[in-house]
Chain A
């Protein structure tokens, strides 16, 4: 089955710096890659996603890149702010309109003022 590896597990940056979180997936049939932000005790919130027919997607300070050949995808947050501090999860899914989402292990991001 699908397996998603995420690194690093913790990341601390200064406010204004960039943060990069990386994931790899095992199943080459995966075709949908969302990123979620989760605050303690809350549901995951979708922050950006990318489909397998696209290499890069950007939304203001957040971008995601996908390398299908290497089975890697990454989240890039620029100009980080303290409110970006949270746990971030990558995920991968197989299926035309959505199959089961398999999550990475999570990255605890801390943005220091």
Chain B
């Protein structure tokens, strides 16, 4: 079946540093990647949508200069949290939409980010 590999699974970083999260589709091409953030006991909140080779579209209230998204190929998308602060601590998860497959959403395993 379709697999999205997300790394790292857990990361602890110091306040003010940047963290890169990577999502890679292992056995399929992903035209679109969705990035979500989930705080404890809350829902998955869509942060942005990226399409291969074009700029990401950010949801209202999400700072595009803070959350940098790159979708350089059909198998790799990255989210970089720049100048991280404790309030950025959350569970980040990607979801890849498979090319030419109706509603083929495949989720990564998520990244637990803790900013200290």
A residues touching B (Cβ–Cβ < 8 Å)? 1, 32, 34, 41-44, 46, 49, 51, 89, 93, 96-98, 100-106
Q: A105 CA to B103 CA in the complex, in Å?
A: 21
Shortest Cβ distance from A108 into chain B, in angstroms? 8
The answer to whether B103 and A97 touch across the interface, beta carbons within 8 angstroms, is yes
- The CA of A56 and the CA of B82, in the complex, are separated in Å by 45
Chain A CB count within 10 A is highest, among B34, B42, B107, for: B107
Across the interface, which residues of B come within 8 angstroms of A93, CB to CB?
103
Contact A34 B44 (CB under 8 A): no
Counting chain B CB atoms within 10 Å of each CB, the highest count among A42, A98, A102 belongs to A98
- Contact indicator A97/B101 (Cβ below 8 Å): yes
Could you say which residues of chain B place their CB within 8 Å of the CB of A103? 36, 43-46
Once A41-B112, A93-B103 are accepted as A-B contacts, the answer to whether A101 and B43 lie under 8 Å apart by CB is no
Shortest B38–chain A CB gap in Å is: 9
Q: Which residues of A contact B104 (CB under 8 A)?
A: 97-98
| Contact present for A98 and B105 (CB under 8 Å) | yes
B49 interfacial by beta-carbon distance below 8 Å: yes
